[in-house]
Amino acid sequence: MLIASTSVATAQEAAPPAAAPAPEAVAAPESVAIAPAGTADGCELHVWPAERMNSITTGLLGGGLLDAALHANRDASNKTMLASALDSQSQLDALLSLDLRGMLKLSPGTTIITHAMPLERKTMNSVKTRRSSSQAKCYSELIVADVFYQKAAIYGRSLKTLFMVRDFGSDSKIDFEYKAWGGNGLKLFPPKEGEDALAALDELVGVFKKNFDEYAGNEAKAPRKPEKI
């Protein structure tokens, strides 16, 4: 009896402890609110990243089906790298690193709300009401519509970005809308074999921000409708 009891005790000591249950995956929030440095005043800016990435390379043929076929593999590779460097969160991070309130002439008390899920590109122009469920008394939107790499035989390499700002005021009717491209040249992207790929991807993010700076400068000059009385 003594031997059997000792054997059982030894076996229990040697047995590994039960594995802890695996932690449940936590989904990323669909939207994140970034409060102003001072007091929030009830105004909101909602920001969405682009759904669509595109790459077009044109040679001496100047475009067309044959030119597209000749550069199809290169453009597919470029789109993959674009999606890597400028995925949804990277676009939002790049925009949040800028002074959006100042560049878009918003009130300092504006709360910025980012949305992780891009809007469907085909609905960009057709939906004329607020794209969120917010009932804020002072409401505007910044939508990234397209991110577009282009290489042209004459003009070289560039990254172009289509942005749209819509201001609704206190209701669901658009008071002001401005949609336009920002575009700047590239020196490192796409990287060739043996070149620093990370530097080329970082360049995309930097030029993306420069494109918005260009867009915002033009947006500030666009005529507004008279304020509602």
Tell me: the pLDDT tens digits for 39-91? 999 999 999 999 988 887 765 444 444 444 444 566 677 788 888 899 999 99
The per-residue pLDDT for 43 is 98
Angle at the Cα of 199 (from 198 to 203), degrees rounded to 5? 115
The Cα–Cα gap between 17 and 212 comes to 55
Q: What is the mean pLDDT of residues 123-135?
A: 96
Is pLDDT at 20 greater than 70 in this prediction? no
Confidence at 211, pLDDT banded by 50, 70, 90? very high
The per-residue pLDDT for 58 is 66
Name the DSSP class of 60. Answer: T
How confident is the prediction for the chain on average, in pLDDT?
A: 83
The Cα–Cα gap between 96 and 91 comes to 9
The per-residue pLDDT for 40 is 95
Q: Which of 48-57, 80-89, 94-103, 169-178 has the lowest mean pLDDT?
A: 48-57
The per-residue pLDDT for 28 is 60
pLDDT 10s digits, 142-159: 999 999 999 887 779 999
Is pLDDT at 188 greater than 80 in this prediction? yes
The per-residue pLDDT for 93 is 97
Is pLDDT at 35 greater than 50 in this prediction? yes
- Domain residue extents for the chain: 29-221
Q: What is the mean pLDDT of residues 5-25?
A: 43
Q: What is the mean pLDDT of residues 190-205?
A: 93
The per-residue pLDDT for 10 is 35
Task: Return the structure tokens found at 47.
Answer: 């920001």
The Cα–Cα gap between 11 and 5 comes to 10
| pTM across the whole model | 0.80
Is pLDDT at 193 greater than 50 in this prediction? yes
Q: What is the mean pLDDT of residues 111-119?
A: 97
The per-residue pLDDT for 7 is 36
The Cα–Cα gap between 92 and 23 comes to 28
The per-residue pLDDT for 177 is 97
